[in-house]
Structure 1
Amino acid sequence: MGHVTGDARTVSDETPRVRVVVALDPDRFDEAVGAARRAGMIVESEQRGIGTAVGTVPEGALAALSAADGVEEVERERGYELPDPESPVQ
């Protein structure tokens, strides 16, 4: 089984995957989701009302996903870490 490190996930030890939020053409939502899948994206959720999908894609397929028909924008998920509750900075 894969593991999670930073913003990349692995399905196997050879295939690093990146979690992304993708803006899709709302007028062709179903076709755009299909094009994103063909570009290598594993769609985890679809938000038809706002024209986005969330999922993972192989790191090497980010350019193909960005160029897929109906894909308007690809954004890598950003990570954050909360400070320790005992730390002086809150």
Structure 2
Amino acid sequence: MSYATGDSRMVSNETRRVRVIVGLDPDHFDQAVEAARRAGMIIESEQRGIGTAVGTVSEDALAALSAAYGVEDVERERGYQLPDPDSPVQ
């Protein structure tokens, strides 16, 4: 079964994927991007100017991603839920 929800995704082999924002060494950006890919990250966008990349990685590869060359920080994307516009709590 494959489906996507909020900040995590399931793929056909039931490995949970999480969205991450990764801080990369700006002096070695291209090498860091490649190292993140080799660690299992599927990169959706790169922000060279601020040294970050956004994408998904399987939950069991988070440690390998954190240890990859040029990866300075790995942060899971946070989700939020706005209240219903008709809700009494605003």
- The normalised TM-score by structure 1 is 0.94
CA RMSD between the two structures:
1.2
Runs (4+) off by over 6 Å: none
Aligned-residue identity in percent: 79
Tell me the matched-pair count.
90
Separation of aligned partners in 1, 2:11 and 2:33: 21
Deviation at 1:3, TM superposition (A): 1.0
Residue 33 of structure 1 pairs with residue 30 of structure 2: no
Match of 2:85 in 1: 85
Q: Secondary structure at the match of 1:78?
A: coil
Separation of aligned partners in 2, 1:63 and 1:80: 25
Match of 2:43 in 1: 43
Change (3 A) 1:13 1:86: farther
Separation of aligned partners in 1, 2:86 and 2:13: 36
Match of 2:73 in 1: 73
- The normalised TM-score by structure 2 is 0.94
Residue 18 of structure 1 pairs with residue 18 of structure 2: yes
Q: Secondary structure at the match of 1:54?
A: strand
Separation of aligned partners in 1, 2:13 and 2:78: 22
Deviation at 1:33, TM superposition (A): 0.2
Deviation at 1:86, TM superposition (A): 0.4
Gapped regions of structure 1 (runs ≥ 5): none
